[in-house]
Amino acid sequence: MSNLITALHIGASGIYTNQTGVQVTGNNITNANTTGYSKQTANVTSSSSLTQGGLIYGTGSTVNTIDRSGDIFITKQLVAQSAVYGEYEASSSPLADIEAILSISENSLSSDIDNFFDALETLSTNPAGTTERQSVIQEAEDLASHFQEIEQQLGDVIKGINSSIESEIPELNDQLQQIADFNKAIMITETASGNANTLRDQRDLLVQHVSETCGCSMYSDENGMTCLQLEGGLPLVTGPAASILSVNQIDGLSQITLSSGQSSFTLEGASFGGSLAGLLSVRDEIIPQYQNNLDQLAYVIATEVNTLHATGITLNGNAATDLFTLTASSSPTANAWDNAAASITVNFDDTSLLATSTTGETGDNSLTLAIADLRDTAIINGSTLTEEYARIAADVGLQVSSNKDKLTSNTELLNTISDKRDSECGVSSEEEMLLLIQYQSGYEAAANYLSVIKEMIDQIMTI
């Protein structure tokens, strides 16, 4: 009798085990499309055995744990690749803006340079002509205002990057805090009972997001808590504590500071990976380089033209002034050309102040010819002015196309790793259906077994 009762318990364990299996499978099926979800498996073991009358009996089955599939190597790959992807993804938009500003269209800066010199050529055919003089001054003004416009637009791109950075930081802080909270929650849950599978899934997903934003590496501490640090080693999350990032504007640029405990660090672009690295490198390296190029271009045009023009005599017989004015940067360490593109203007709009000669005679066009010759002279970095602009525009084009290529290949790589993760940890509906059939038939068998035992007990009871 006592053995039949044990057998009843064995049958019941089969029912429970298969029920749990169905439950786990159901959870998997319903989460098949949940981002970051890892497939769970009921880990069925046989229950501890009983010794009776010198025999060792099994006592059925039990679901020991519900395991979560996972591969720490793939997770780390995903975290690292997200950072690379984030970097190129974030820089693609400001780079496209720069490309549009330094365009190669028919209205680009180079056409303004061409038009200015063309107006001088026209003036040389009629040096005293008011219309021709007016047109030179007009083209010079167009050229100067195009420089200023470009400078202004590049400044707008910088502002846009600043506000992107400012909007990333609160979300990043939130994510870091959540990871730290999950660390605590996972430890509490797992100390009390079983595996905190869902919490771990959510934490891994957050780590991937954080890495896409700022690039980080992860490791587990002795308590199994996930710790994150920036590439340079500065801590983002240490066990249950999250660092706090803050932004403030210094000289018109958003500066990021990391506070961890009592210490705080000012972070440069190189400290980060991910989208922050992409944004900061465009803002702090790429744009300043083009600004410098344009400043040089504006400076060379203005000073070369001025040097010649100032040797002239106007129609009124007075010594000529500069055609262009520049305001030099106030910084003592600045280059001579700094601030040129932002400040270039035309000095006068009175056509009689334009000098075409060094004699002041009405038919003398020699100075105009000399100024027009600047167009074909290699006066900037061994090139002519339009060649220099072409070099700058081609350089922007290269940056954009190389970023685009890198973004494509890294998106594909990220997809490949995600596929690998899904292959390892994702839910396959077909597989789950098979498991469902398996558990269903297991349940059926256990139920049949129970009814047999019941009959046997009944028979005994009727004796």
Partner 1 sequence: MIRTNDLSAYRTLQYNMSKTSSSLNQLYVKTSTGQQVDKASDAPSLVRTIITGRSDIIVGERYIENCKHVQNSLSTAETAIDSMIDLLDRAKEIAVAAANDSLSQSDRDSYTDEVIQLEENLLDLANMQADGKYIFAGYNDQVEPFSGSPVVYNGTGDHQEIEISSGIRVAKNITGSELFVSPVDIFTTLTELKSALQGGNTTTISSQLTSIEDAAEQVRRQQNFLGNTSARMDDIIAVHESSLLLVNEKLSQAEDADLTEVLSEVSKLELSLEATMQVTSRVSSLSLFDYL
Does position 100 interact with partner 1 (CB under 8 A)? The reply is yes
Non-local (6+) Cβ contacts of 443 within 8 A are 14, 15, 18, 19, 22
Return the residues of window 15-54 that contact partner 1 according to CB under 8 A. Answer: 32-33
Stretch that binds partner 1, among 79-87, 113-121, 150-158, 445-453 (CB under 8 A): 113-121
Provide the Cα torsion 27, 31, 35, 41; round to 10°. 40
Does position 118 interact with partner 1 (CB under 8 A)? The reply is yes
In eight-state DSSP terms, residue 78 is H
Phi/psi at 380 (nearest 5 deg)?
-135, 115
Provide the Cα torsion 311, 313, 319, 325; round to 10°. -60
Q: Which is nearer to partner 1, 142 or 322 (CB)?
A: 142
Phi/psi at 333 (nearest 5 deg)?
-95, 0
Does position 141 interact with partner 1 (CB under 8 A)? The reply is no
Does position 198 interact with partner 1 (CB under 8 A)? The reply is no
Cβ-contact 389, 110 below 8 angstroms: yes
Residue 217: Cβ within 10 Å count: 18
DSSP for 244-257 reads EEEEEEETTEEEEE
3-state secondary structure of 107: coil
CB of 210 to partner 1, least distance (A): 21
Q: Which is nearer to partner 1, 230 or 393 (CB)?
A: 393
* Nearest by Cα to 86 from 275, 281, 216: 275
Does position 128 interact with partner 1 (CB under 8 A)? The reply is yes
Of 249, 401, 409, 451, the one binding partner 1 by CB under 8 A: 401
In eight-state DSSP terms, residue 310 is T
Of 277, 427, 435, 453, the one binding partner 1 by CB under 8 A: 427
Does position 391 interact with partner 1 (CB under 8 A)? The reply is yes
Of 14, 273, 274, 426, the one binding partner 1 by CB under 8 A: 426
Cβ-contact 101, 154 below 8 angstroms: yes
3-state secondary structure of 260: strand
Does position 107 interact with partner 1 (CB under 8 A)? The reply is no
Q: Which is nearer to partner 1, 284 or 422 (CB)?
A: 422
Of 12, 205, 234, 390, the one binding partner 1 by CB under 8 A: 390
Stretch that binds partner 1, among 18-26, 142-150, 234-242, 394-402 (CB under 8 A): 394-402
Return the residues of window 402-421 that contact partner 1 according to CB under 8 A. Answer: 404, 408, 411-412, 415, 418-419
CB of 74 to partner 1, least distance (A): 13
Does position 375 interact with partner 1 (CB under 8 A)? The reply is yes
Q: Which residues of 267-286 are buried (b: 16+ CB within 10 A; e: fewer)?
A: bebebbbbbbbbbbbbbbeb
Of 400, 413, 447, 457, the one binding partner 1 by CB under 8 A: 400
Stretch that binds partner 1, among 145-153, 202-210, 284-292, 354-362 (CB under 8 A): 354-362
In eight-state DSSP terms, residue 271 is G
Residues near partner 1 (CB under 8 A) are: 32-33, 99-100, 102-104, 106, 108, 110-111, 113-115, 118, 121-122, 124-128, 357, 359, 361-366, 369, 372-373, 375-376, 386-387, 389-391, 393-401, 404, 408, 411-412, 415, 418-419, 422-424, 426-431, 433-434, 437
